Amino acid sequence: MNRATEEKSYEQLSPFELKNKLMAMAEKRSEKLMLNAGRGNPNWVATEARHAFFLLGNFAMGEAYRVMSRPGLAGAPSASGSAGRFREFCLIHSETRGAQFLADALKHVTTQMDLNGDEFVGEMVDGILGDHYPTPDRVLVNTEKIVRAYLDVAMCDSRPPEGIMDIFLTEGGTAAMTYIFNTLRENHLVKKGDKIALGTPIFTPYLEIPVLNDYEMVVVDVEQNEDKDWQYTDAELEKLADPDVKAFFLVNPSNPSSVSIAEESLYKIADLVRDKRKDLIILTDDVYGTFVNGFRSLAAIAPKNTILVYSYSKYFGATGWRLGAIGISRDNVMDEMIAALPEDQKKELHERYVTISRDPDSIKLIDRLVADSRTVALNHTAGLSTPQQVMMVLFSLQELLDLESRLYRKEVQDVVRERYNTLYAALGEEPVELTCYAKYYATIDIHKLAVKRHGEEFAKWLKTTHEPIDFVWRLAAEKDVVLMDGGGFDAPEMSVRVSLANLNKADYDKIGHAVSDLLEKYVKEWKAGE
């Protein structure tokens, strides 16, 4: 099988599956070290919350032994008086990393958030021990208040909308996506054959899920304009005015272009759903929002129509923890749309949820998500594990305690910025500087680079005589560099996505030179064939 034929056989795969083939090719060249800037797993970990987590575990075990101490056994702790014991514990362990953080956390939630100290400490102790089912199943009581406060800062730039956002904690952002797609379908908010709009380019599962036979939706691309700093033009946003478009799914900041939506466009979408498309459902996946200063989500600007998905994975270096959140305003159009369904569909949903509520018709969408996540019948076992919820609380508090200096945010942003600048210096290109640029990924359009450096004729030859994935294929096979195929994200064909999160600064110098060197190799082949 020649290379072009083999490449063509891989082009239908998700770029994440193609990456595995590229890695296997690069690894064969054992005399060199493979550089894998494909998947966006960060190579940093947030330390303060983790130190606190492990020290909190020691306190929790002490609380358990207060109740029962038998060989190999301890008891389920009581919350009564726990705040006082916790303060004393932090004082005794003041020289241990994490103790001051825990003391500051307790002070913050009791004085700034008006939480009851015993109830907060009791919830954290019980949660980290994991000795009870999550109760309430959607999210623990104090945990929800703290996560909501964090999202107000991280997703709303400390300018949250009026009203209350209800939270459902999930096993990462991908679980949140799965639950939302399923519940929207089960509750007749979207159905087979419906049109949905996707803000493209976009994280590939959003491209792949709608066309599965579970959904069979018609996809309308709302395209970012590469020549306008990856923003949506007014003409593209106008596609959302079509009443046949039932939902708009987007990643903001985008993936792979890593740019957040301009505030002007956010308000145009908000005006649209207020005036013309009151029934448009918006799903915004905002995992990279914390890499953009002043970031505001559509959940802050058009809360009534928007379902927010957020994951702690990238910002805090916690992909293995699987920490995600779904946020929905308590006053939302989705609940209104369910209440207005035809009688036969309302009867069907009544029967679906009748075993979990005496008033199944009034169950809110976010609680339907919880039930559906366990196929309704197992609703009593729903919910994110309590140790995961505790970790989420501590990550949230790490940010809430750092609002004045924003030291952690500055450090994380500096890490990706340094790598971005190194990549472009090695590539020999001027880095783009935008206030809305998260810089978690870099998208390099190889065709545009070819035009700029060697003219339209060469770029046309490159495009017409090579498969779209040929560039990433040869980078792996010849340069030991694994990058994502941008075309798999609906980015331009023969573009590449470079993750700026998972390698060290010096590695991006090698990647930039590898991209340039390979492009020059194509030029030699083109000239040799003239």
Question: Residue 218 maps to which CATH number?
Answer: 3.40.640.10
**Token pair of 23 as six digits:** 């890695």
Element (H, E) at 222: strand 218-225
Q: How many CA atoms lie within 13 A of 449 on its CB side?
A: 24
- Other beta carbons within 10 angstroms of residue 453's beta carbon come to 15
DSSP 259: B
pLDDT of residue 488: 85
Helices then strands, each counted (H, E), the chain: 21, 15
Do 12 and 67 lie in one domain? The reply is no
Burial class (CB in 10 A: 0-12, 13-18, 19+), 125: buried
Q: For the chain, how are helix, strand and coil distributed in percent, rounded to 5?
A: 50, 15, 35
Q: Which residues contact 371 (CB under 8 A, 6 or more apart)?
A: 353, 356, 363, 379, 382
Cα–Cα dist 471/496, whole Å = 8
Cα–Cα dist 32/403, whole Å = 44
Residue type, 524: K
Do 77 and 194 lie in one domain? The reply is no
Decide: helix, strand or coil at residue 281. strand
Cα–Cα dist 510/479, whole Å = 9
Asked which of 384, 400, 416 is the last residue of a domain, the reply is: 400
**Token pair of 523 as six digits:** 């030029």
Asked which of 351, 379, 400 is the last residue of a domain, the reply is: 400
Cα–Cα dist 79/402, whole Å = 28
Is the torsion defined by CA of 122, 123, 128, 130 positive or negative? positive
Residue type, 198: L
Do 412 and 518 lie in one domain? The reply is yes
pLDDT of residue 487: 86
Residue type, 285: D
Cα–Cα dist 422/37, whole Å = 14
Among residues 194, 215, 245, 187, which one has the least CA distance to residue 364? 187
DSSP string, 300-335: HHSTTTEEEEEESTTTTT-GGG-EEEEEEESS-HHH
Among residues 415, 162, 440, 444, which one has the least CA distance to residue 287? 440
Cα–Cα dist 300/158, whole Å = 10
Do 335 and 452 lie in one domain? The reply is no
Q: How far is CA 456 from the centre of its chain?
A: 37
Do 336 and 240 lie in one domain? The reply is yes
The CATH number linked to 430 is 3.90.1150.10
pLDDT of residue 19: 61
- Measured at the CA of 13, the angle between CA 12 and CA 19, to 5 degrees, comes to 135
- Other beta carbons within 10 angstroms of residue 115's beta carbon come to 20
Among residues 108, 96, 114, 107, which one has the least CA distance to residue 59? 96
Q: Please report which residue ranges of 117-253 form alpha helices under DSSP H.
A: 117-129, 141-154, 172-186, 204-208, 234-237
Strand stretches in 426-508, DSSP E = 441-445, 481-482, 484-485, 495-499
Structurally, how many domains does the chain consist of?
Answer: 3
pLDDT of residue 1: 57
Do 61 and 10 lie in one domain? The reply is no
- Domain carrying residue 85: 47-129
In a domain, 134, yes or no: no
Do 364 and 231 lie in one domain? The reply is yes
- Where residue 396 falls (left for φ over 0; alpha for ψ -120 to 50; beta otherwise) is alpha
Asked which of 84, 102, 129 is the last residue of a domain, the reply is: 129
Among residues 443, 444, 478, which one has the least CA distance to residue 22? 478
Do 319 and 180 lie in one domain? The reply is yes
Do 31 and 54 lie in one domain? The reply is no
Cα–Cα dist 94/99, whole Å = 5
**Token pair of 211 as six digits:** 């066309």
Q: Distance between the two ends of the chain, CA-based, in angstroms?
A: 26
Do 361 and 381 lie in one domain? The reply is yes
In a domain, 489, yes or no: yes
For tokens 């064909």, name the residue.
Answer: 493
Decide: helix, strand or coil at residue 482. strand
pLDDT of residue 20: 67
Helix axes 117-129, 47-67, angle to 10 degrees: 90
pLDDT of residue 530: 63
In a domain, 518, yes or no: yes
**Token pair of 222 as six digits:** 């709302």
Cα–Cα dist 439/420, whole Å = 7
Do 36 and 52 lie in one domain? The reply is no
Do 483 and 375 lie in one domain? The reply is no
In a domain, 226, yes or no: yes
Tens digit of each residue's pLDDT, the chain (530 residues): 566 676 666 656 666 666 666 667 666 654 456 688 877 899 999 999 999 999 999 999 999 999 999 999 999 999 999 999 999 999 999 999 999 999 999 999 999 999 999 999 999 999 999 999 999 999 999 999 999 999 999 999 999 999 999 999 999 998 999 999 999 999 999 999 999 999 999 988 888 888 877 888 999 999 999 999 999 999 999 999 999 999 999 999 999 999 999 999 999 999 999 999 999 999 999 999 999 999 999 999 999 999 999 999 999 999 999 999 999 999 999 999 999 999 999 999 999 999 999 999 999 999 999 999 999 999 999 999 999 999 999 999 999 999 999 999 999 999 999 999 999 999 999 998 889 999 999 999 999 999 999 999 999 999 999 998 899 999 999 999 999 898 888 889 999 999 999 999 999 999 999 999 999 999 999 999 86
Q: What Cα–Cα distance (Å) separates residue 511 from each residue in 481, 498, 506, 508?
A: 7, 9, 9, 5
Among residues 224, 167, 92, 88, which one has the least CA distance to residue 389? 167
pLDDT of residue 35: 83
**Token pair of 400 as six digits:** 């809430």
Beta strands 245-251 and 484-485: pairing type? unpaired
